[in-house]
């Protein structure tokens, strides 16, 4: 998938270091270990995506299928470089993840969002609006669960999502 110099594709282990380096510039996202992004770019590559422009990683979605919720994909992190924001890239990456073979039978997109993260809330609400499905918000991981000061992480649950069209189900960002 490519336009305006942007291409979206399945992550490769070689992308992990680039994602890890990009995180401070993205801001608002916890920077996990480089090893965690290696897991993302290998074990969870079928439910994650990277966006590149000019050979540089400018965005990513880290997603996985929670074993306890087999009909869902959980979006653990979504980030867009400041230089690529406001162009619809965040929304396109969510669409891209849902179109991947690893999400073929997904009915719900779930995520947690801090109540003060307006951009993130707007991104998920816009995704639900485009798909014309409810976006429910409820308790997720409340602040006291964290060992250090941390805002509440409220749960977002979007769906039920329609089964992919024949065309979408053949999308394959490899």
Coil, strand or helix: which one is 123?
Answer: helix
Binding-residue pattern over the window 3 to 42 for ligand COA, x denoting contact by CB under 6 A: -----------------------xxxx-------------
Measured distance CA(149)–CA(97) in Å, rounded: 31
**Cα 173 from chain centroid (whole Å):** 15
Binding-residue pattern over the window 134 to 173 for ligand COA, x denoting contact by CB under 6 A: ----------------------------------------
**DSSP label of 14:** G
Residue closer to ligand COA (CB basis): 86 or 166: 86
Measured distance CA(97)–CA(142) in Å, rounded: 27
Report the nearest approach of ligand COA to the CB of residue 52 (Å). Answer: 14
CA distances (Å), 49 to each of 67, 79, 149, in order? Answer: 20, 11, 30
Site for ligand COA in 77-136 (CB under 6 A): 77-80, 85-91, 117-120, 122-123, 126
Residue closer to ligand COA (CB basis): 126 or 171: 126
The answer to whether residues 47 and 80 touch, using CB atoms and an 8 Å cutoff, is no
Measured distance CA(91)–CA(95) in Å, rounded: 6
Number of residues that bind ligand COA (CB under 6 A): 22
Site for ligand COA in 53-72 (CB under 6 A): none
State which residue has the least CB distance to ligand COA: 90
The answer to whether residues 44 and 64 touch, using CB atoms and an 8 Å cutoff, is yes
Report the nearest approach of ligand COA to the CB of residue 166 (Å). Answer: 26
Chain residues binding ligand COA by CB under 6 A are: 26-29, 77-80, 85-91, 117-120, 122-123, 126
């Amino acid at each position: 998938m490519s336009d305006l110099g942007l291409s979206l594709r399945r992550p490769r282990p070689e992308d992990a270091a680039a994602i890890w380096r990009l995180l401070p510039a993205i801001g608002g996202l916890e920077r996990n270990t480089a090893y965690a992004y290696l897991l993302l770019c290998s074990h969870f590559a079928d439910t994650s995506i990277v966006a590149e422009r000019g050979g540089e990683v400018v965005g990513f979605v880290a997603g996985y299928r929670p074993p306890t919720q087999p009909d869902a994909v959980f979006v653990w992190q979504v980030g867009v470089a400041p230089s690529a924001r406001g162009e619809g890239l965040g929304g396109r990456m969510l669409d891209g993840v849902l179109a991947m073979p690893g999400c073929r039978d997904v009915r719900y997109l779930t995520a947690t969002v801090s109540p003060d993260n307006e951009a993130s809330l707007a991104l998920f609400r816009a995704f639900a609006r485009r798909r014309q499905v409810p976006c429910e918000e409820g308790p997720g991981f409340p602040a006291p669960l964290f060992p250090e000061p941390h805002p509440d992480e409220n749960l977002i649950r979007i769906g039920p999502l329609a089964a992919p069209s024949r065309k979408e189900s053949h999308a394959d960002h490899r």
